[in-house]
């Protein structure tokens, strides 16, 4: 008897499905690698009968991933990995595709976790997470399901950090592939995807002109590099703050000013945090900011900003635009917080462009098939994406772009494997 009720779901309005279908198809046209994998899955059915619980941003690109997994034979249930990132038309369309989806843009904390519970009620054998909320909820509240679980995939840096902490504490319940760690994921999705879409989200939320303004990027990892380079391309003066001296020297040599947050706080017009860390912008920084400063976050959780602090030191708040909360400080200065500190690119924008999610989700699909095939030989550890998958995704992407590359000659293969040739 099937565990899943394929007609289930909790979305804003099922009447939005037609609009969702059209936008899913639009994104699909920019995802040729995933389309090829979907065609292959249709024939080979590598996920036949595997129940997958997914907790991902419910976007047009995720919908294309769900359809590829469904083509591979998986039984799916999906919920949002952030209360503000759901595209309601996509959620409605997915229900029509018989993929039970539990996600409503703007859902409150209780509904968010209620939706995770709905996915868990489908008794998943595999988890597909973006931020690790599904794995931690299964581990803390539903251990009886663990005997049936074969593995999981994790999409983002913060999720991988949490999973590695679970492994260190000896509580990681099953093998998980860190999809984020594939080169064809973080080098492109985190850098170019977050770079472009974060600025898109800031602009959509505020319509601010970036040329000539000072943008402070907090954290110069993969996402921070992308945001800094795109902000600079739009004519902004970019300041980077870091805690890792290697990243700081890289930012300095990439041409940005590097300084402590206490100094940057006085100079910035726009602040973006992307550290995956806690309270990187806090009371002492808000107190130094210029009148009109715009503050947002593109890291996974909104606790990168100390939102209690801004509320505490303010006399009032106005909401002049949909994703803007304008706080008035005691001395009359105003500071704008965007999208309640949630990932700005997914809250005020549409998240990463499909062409870049093509590679991230090709990795997800291939890793799910890998887990279905190889879980018997895996331990309760966080695994990197197998090199063959990473390389295959790059090859397929290049070929979809009509780009060819050289291959090593036999002589070069021999040379690269030998130590005897010297000066
Ligand atoms: N918005 C999106 O769509 C999106 C996409 C991918 C990743 N993410 C999230 O963005 C965050 C960053 O991801 P990443 O891949 O760039 O990680 P990363 O590990 O490559 O980079 C994070 C950087 O932040 C720095 N940092 C940490 N604490 C800091 C502090 N107090 N001040 C200044 N710098 C500090 C670290 O030294 C590191 O260089 C994670 O939460 C990740 O999950 C978001």
**SS3 sequence, 98-115?**
CCCEECCCCCCHHHHHHH
β partners of residue 217 = 240, 272
For residue 221, the 8-state DSSP code is S
Segment 300-309 shows an average pLDDT of 97
Q: Are 89 and 23 contacting, i.e. CB atoms less than 8 angstroms apart?
A: yes
Q: How far is CA 390 from CA 69, 187, 208, 328, 371, in A?
A: 18, 12, 38, 49, 15
- Protein residue closest via CA to atom 44 of ligand 1: 299
Cα–Cα dist 196/387, whole Å:
27
pTM: 0.94
Those residues whose C-beta lies under 8 Å from the C-beta of residue 137, and which sit 6 or more positions away, are 113, 116, 117, 120
What are the helix (H) ranges across 254-351? 261-267, 283-286, 307-312, 344-347
Decide whether any atom of ligand 1 lies within 6 Å of the 219 Cβ.
yes
- Protein residue closest via CA to atom 32 of ligand 1: 242
The Å distance, Cα 219 to ligand 1 centre, comes to 6
The Å distance, Cα 238 to ligand 1 centre, comes to 17
Residue 246 predicted with pLDDT over 70: yes
Decide whether any atom of ligand 1 lies within 6 Å of the 186 Cβ.
yes
pLDDT digit string, tens, across residues 136-194: 999 999 999 999 999 999 999 999 999 999 999 999 999 999 999 999 999 999 999 99
User: What is the pLDDT, as a whole number, of residue 3?
Assistant: 67
Segment 280-296 shows an average pLDDT of 98
Cα 200–Cα 203–Cα 208 angle in degrees, nearest 5 = 150
Those residues whose C-beta lies under 8 Å from the C-beta of residue 358, and which sit 6 or more positions away, are 30, 31, 32, 33, 34, 61, 397
Ligand 1 atom at minimum distance from 276 CA: 41
Segment 32-54 shows an average pLDDT of 98
User: What is the pLDDT, as a whole number, of residue 2?
Assistant: 57
pLDDT digit string, tens, across residues 276-285: 999 999 999 9
User: What is the pLDDT, as a whole number, of residue 1?
Assistant: 41
- Protein residue closest via CA to atom 21 of ligand 1: 221
Decide whether any atom of ligand 1 lies within 6 Å of the 156 Cβ.
yes
Decide whether any atom of ligand 1 lies within 6 Å of the 201 Cβ.
no
Segment 285-299 shows an average pLDDT of 98
* Coil/strand/helix, residue 58: coil
pLDDT digit string, tens, across residues 110-142: 999 999 999 999 999 999 999 999 999 999 999
Segment 300-313 shows an average pLDDT of 97
Question: Longest Cα pair distance anywhere in the chain, in angstroms?
Answer: 73
- Residue 5's pLDDT band, with cuts at 50, 70 and 90, is confident
The Å distance, Cα 411 to ligand 1 centre, comes to 42
Q: Are 196 and 190 contacting, i.e. CB atoms less than 8 angstroms apart?
A: no
Decide whether any atom of ligand 1 lies within 6 Å of the 298 Cβ.
yes
Segment 25-45 shows an average pLDDT of 98
What are the helix (H) ranges across 29-76? 32-44, 60-71
Cα–Cα dist 67/394, whole Å:
21
Cα 158–Cα 160–Cα 161 angle in degrees, nearest 5 = 65
- Protein residue closest via CA to atom 1 of ligand 1: 298
- Residue 4's pLDDT band, with cuts at 50, 70 and 90, is confident
Neighbours of 36 (CB within 10 A): 15
* Coil/strand/helix, residue 138: helix
Decide whether any atom of ligand 1 lies within 6 Å of the 247 Cβ.
yes
| CA-wise closest residue to 128 among 186, 183, 180 | 180
* Residue among 132, 182, 219 to mutate when testing ligand 1 (max atoms within 8 A of CB): 219
Decide whether any atom of ligand 1 lies within 6 Å of the 347 Cβ.
no
pLDDT digit string, tens, across residues 344-369: 999 999 999 999 999 999 999 999 99
Q: What secondary structure does DSSP assign to 323-345, as a single string?
A: TEEEEEETTS-EEEEEGGGSBHH
User: What is the pLDDT, as a whole number, of residue 33?
Assistant: 98
The Å distance, Cα 231 to ligand 1 centre, comes to 17
pLDDT digit string, tens, across residues 59-108: 999 999 999 999 999 999 999 999 999 999 999 999 999 999 999 999 99
User: What is the pLDDT, as a whole number, of residue 65?
Assistant: 98
Those residues whose C-beta lies under 8 Å from the C-beta of residue 33, and which sit 6 or more positions away, are 358, 359, 362, 393, 396, 397, 400
Decide whether any atom of ligand 1 lies within 6 Å of the 280 Cβ.
yes
| CA-wise closest residue to 221 among 257, 186, 263 | 186
What beta strand segments (E) does 155-247 contain?
Answer: 176-178, 214-218, 237-241
Decide whether any atom of ligand 1 lies within 6 Å of the 242 Cβ.
yes
Cα–Cα dist 10/70, whole Å:
19
Segment 10-37 shows an average pLDDT of 98
H/E element holding 17?
helix 17-28
- Protein residue closest via CA to atom 35 of ligand 1: 219
Neighbours of 40 (CB within 10 A): 16
Decide whether any atom of ligand 1 lies within 6 Å of the 299 Cβ.
yes
Residue 242 predicted with pLDDT over 80: yes
Q: How far is CA 244 from CA 128, 183, 239, 240, in A?
A: 30, 21, 15, 12
Neighbours of 342 (CB within 10 A): 24
């Amino acid at each position: 008897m099937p565990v899943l009720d394929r007609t289930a779901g909790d979305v804003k309005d099922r009447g939005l499905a037609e609009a969702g279908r059209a936008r899913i198809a639009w994104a699909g046209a920019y995802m040729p690698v995933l389309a090829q994998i979907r065609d292959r899955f249709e024939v080979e059915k590598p996920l036949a009968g595997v129940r997958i619980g997914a907790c991902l941003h419910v976007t047009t690109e995720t919908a294309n991933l769900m359809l590829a997994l469904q083509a591979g034979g998986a039984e799916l249930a999906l919920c949002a990995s952030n209360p503000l990132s759901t595209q309601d038309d996509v959620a409605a369309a997915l229900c029509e595709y018989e993929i039970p989806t539990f996600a409503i843009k703007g859902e409150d904390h209780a509904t968010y976790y209620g939706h995770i519970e709905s996915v868990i009620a489908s008794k998943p054998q595999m988890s597909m997470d973006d931020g690790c909320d599904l794995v931690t909820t299964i581990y803390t509240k539903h251990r009886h399901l663990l005997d049936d679980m074969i593995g999981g995939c994790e999409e983002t840096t913060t999720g991988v950090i949490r999973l590695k902490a679970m492994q260190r504490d000896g509580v990681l319940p099953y093998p998980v592939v860190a999809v984020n760690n594939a080169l064809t994921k973080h080098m492109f999705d985190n850098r170019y995807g977050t770079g472009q879409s974060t600025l898109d989200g800031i602009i959509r939320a505020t319509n601010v002109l970036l040329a000539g303004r000072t943008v402070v990027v907090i954290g110069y990892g993969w996402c921070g590099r992308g945001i800094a380079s795109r902000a600079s391309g739009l004519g902004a003066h970019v300041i980077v703050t870091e805690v890792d001296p290697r990243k700081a020297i890289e930012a300095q040599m990439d041409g940005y000013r590097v300084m402590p947050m206490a100094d940057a706080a006085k100079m910035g017009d726009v602040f973006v945090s992307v550290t995956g860390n806690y309270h990187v912008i806090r009371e002492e920084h808000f107190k130094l900011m210029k009148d009109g400063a715009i503050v947002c976050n593109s890291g996974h959780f909104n606790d990168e900003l100390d939102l209690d602090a801004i509320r505490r030191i303010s006399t009032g708040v106005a909401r002049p635009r949909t994703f803007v909360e304008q706080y008035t400080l005691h001395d009359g200065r105003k500071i704008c917080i965007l999208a309640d500190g949630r990932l700005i690119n997914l809250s005020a924008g549409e998240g990463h462009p499909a062409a870049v999610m093509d590679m991230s989700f090709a990795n997800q699909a291939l890793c799910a098939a890998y887990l279905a095939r190889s879980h018997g030989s895996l331990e309760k550890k966080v695994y990197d994406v197998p090199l063959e998958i990473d390389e295959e995704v790059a090859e397929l992407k290049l070929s979809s772009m009509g780009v060819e590359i050289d291959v090593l000659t036999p002589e070069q293969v021999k040379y690269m494997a030998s130590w005897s040739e010297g000066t």
